[in-house]
A and B are shown apart, each in its own frame.
Chain A
Amino acid sequence: MSKLILPLLNVSNLNKNFEIKKIFKPIKTLKALSEVSFTLNTNETLGIVGESGCGKSTLAKVLTQLEKPSSGSIQIEGIEIPNLDPKEFHSTIQMVFQDPYQSLNPRKKAFDIIADPLRINTNKSENDIKELVLDMMKKVGLREEFKERYPHHFSGGQRQRLGIARALMLRPKILILDEPVSALDVSIQAQVLNLLLELQAEFSLSYLFITHDLSVVEHISDRILVMYLGRIVEYGPREQIFNNPKHPYTQLLLESAPKVLGGTNSKKDWNIITSEAPSALTLPKGCAFASRCNNKTPQCDLSIPELKDEGGRLVACFNAIKG
């Protein structure tokens, strides 16, 4: 009974620190992830947004066990990841990488790229594998005759389809997508996003969709997690976050995204703005966003705001925007 209520993926209090060692200098600690907690349910897409250096990619690496977390727990259907059998783990979480030009082995044929996960993790016969690979190629929109081709024969969009097919071969429940469309041309982006939506419906997939592109995340996500320098600053349903952002950072992000028509910038004074995020190595004592924030109060420099419930979403701000 209790198994039904457990979320597919439950991350709580995840921390990841990197130690920066330089000769003759004291060891510095870089806090890449601090107290990150979230859940992911079956057939749901959680969008993870934030600027470079906010810890999005570290999070993906920790979840796929490419990096060990410093502390905290990651549970898949109630079982801690280190307790899972590696083969079972790989058939639960898979990843699609940002750059389809670098994440495919140039010496392998498309068929082998897609077949390898099965050869390594299962005992299936070559005949079964062939059938499964051809079936998957069809599902991601790659023609059968492409199977003998090498990655350099494919266009960017086709390569990303190849990366998606490879990730799906073990029928994972969770797919981590790290900027899957940002290396693609605009007219190809929509094709790949559509494919991801179709596959999600077909295989009841859960996506952890990491991107910096707000329009993409708005289209594909059910819930959104906004990160800033390793911490969650706002976390909640898509409509709430996009229609009514409460954290000043979320608001800044949404305002900064350029709009095709009716942009906020039309015919106004252009200011030279220069605020930038502080370095992750020298984080302030208080809220990390305080140096760029317009709503700053003295309290912000003294302590780090906790995530608080604000009508169905979580916000980490002392002066969350009302309304």
Chain B
Amino acid sequence: MLLNVENLNIHFKSDKSSTPIHAVRDLSFKINKGEMLGVVGESGSGKSITNLALLGLLPDSALVTAKNLDFEGKKLLSLNELEWCQVRGREIAMIFQDPMTALNPFLTVEFQIVETIKAHLNLSNKEAINKAIELLNFVGIPSPKDRLKAYPFELSGGMAQRVMIAMAISTDPKLLIADEPTTALDVTIQKQILNLLKVLQEKNNMSIILVTHDLGVVGEYSDRLQVMYAGEVVEEGFTTEILKNPNHPYTEALLASRPGASAHLKRIPKTLLPSISGIVPAFHQRPLGCQFHPRCSYKTHECEQSIIELKDFVRCIHPCNQLSLK
């Protein structure tokens, strides 16, 4: 096991309310070596905050507690800043959603990659440049030597994301967090980038957390899946099983509201889609009980009463497959 997260809670101090805001509640998951975990959820579901917590990048106003937050036996919560520098970027690396804003527009690709390499590996300038060329070549950038001299604005979105990936994998991290790596990209480029991540996972035995809002992306690429809603995991398990037989009403409704004919739902074009009413609750307006109950079509009186615990990988007292058996 590479990463073990047990009961991770993240609170934020807020001026608006006297009690801290509970952004992520009781999150537990494990990642094995060479595995790709997909995380789906809408904005405000706590996906990005969790990732930042895994990298120790949350601001001081955040209060992170966990029963266990182990990365290869290292207790991440007790690391000091110096120790974090050994982990962050070296063992756990991250690629961000928008490569154009994540790269520094004033610096060449060469400067930015070489800086990363030299910060973590004991290499001379020349060796670092050679390694950078090697990496750009690996991620599929044509004529990498010339590209080193380029500034980010001279690259296309797909190229810039490849540079980000090259930087992230330059230290051969054990865990790569990809936070919406293809949301800003075209479908054909998306496929290229995701295939590249899959090569890293399978051939280099890298573990990857793939965060996305696109069920199609996790469906094709991830091994296991975690569905998040309003700071909680509502369902987890093997990707194909969840997508075939969603147990949580939220997962089921998300799948049903996808337009277009997917493999198992034949839709008649130009008819109304089964949509989920309402919106994701804001941090400070989260309801009591089940977080999804105001929007859920199966809700009963019990759903509003108390916090629902994750049971048999589903956080619901009326899981869908049980309903269909009745």
Report which A residues bind B (CB closer than 8 A).
Answer: 45, 51-52, 155, 157, 185-191, 193-194, 197-198, 212, 214-216, 218-222, 238, 252-253, 256-263, 265-266, 270-276
Contacts and interface: CB of A to CB of B under 8 A. Distances in A.
24 contacts: A185-B280, A187-B42, A187-B254, A187-B295, A190-B273, A212-B187, A216-B259, A218-B259, A219-B259, A219-B267, A219-B269, A258-B216, A258-B219, A259-B220, A259-B262, A260-B255, A261-B240, A265-B220, A265-B221, A270-B198, A270-B199, A272-B138, A273-B140, A276-B156
Interface string B156-193: 11110000000000000000000000000011111110
A272 B198 CA distance: 9
B257 interface: yes
B277 interface: yes
Contact of A220 (B157, B158, B269): B269
The 3 closest A-B pairs by CB, nearest first: A215-B260, A258-B216, A219-B259
B49 interface: no
A221 B259 CA distance: 12
B181 to A, nearest CB: 13
Given A187-B280, A219-B267, A261-B243, A272 B262 contact: no
A168 to B, nearest CB: 19
A52 B213 CA distance: 20
B244 A261 contact: yes
Contacts of B219: 258-261, 263
A198 to B, nearest CB: 7
Interface string B110-144: 00000000000000000000000000001111100
A274 B213 contact: no
B196 A185 contact: no
Interface in B191-248: 191-192, 194-196, 198-199, 202, 213-217, 219-221, 240, 243-244
B216 A257 contact: yes
A187 B194 CA distance: 24
A61 B158 CA distance: 25
B43 A51 contact: no
Contacts of A270: 195-196, 198-199, 202
B147 to A, nearest CB: 12
Nearest to B197: A270
Contacts of A51: 186-189
Nearest to B264: A261
A155 B279 CA distance: 8
A297 B42 CA distance: 45
Contacts of B257: 186-187, 189-190
B274 interface: yes
Contacts of A238: 269
B220 A253 contact: no
Interface string B22-35: 00000000000000
B261 interface: yes
A273 B139 CA distance: 9
Contacts of B325: none
Contacts of A276: 156, 158-159, 189
A56 B60 CA distance: 44
A58 to B, nearest CB: 16
A310 B219 CA distance: 34
Given A189-B257, A216-B260, A261-B244, A273 B280 contact: no
A190 B257 CA distance: 6
A147 to B, nearest CB: 19
B273 A193 contact: yes
Contacts of B259: 189-190, 193, 215-216, 218-220
Contacts of A155: 279
B216 A260 contact: yes
B188 A252 contact: yes
B276 interface: yes
A197 B188 contact: no
B42 A260 contact: no
Contacts of B158: 276
Contacts of A220: 259, 269-270
B263 interface: yes
A215 B265 CA distance: 12
Contacts of A257: 187, 216
Contacts of B221: 258, 265
Interface in B75-108: none
Contact of A253 (B141, B188, B253, B275): B188
A262 B186 CA distance: 21
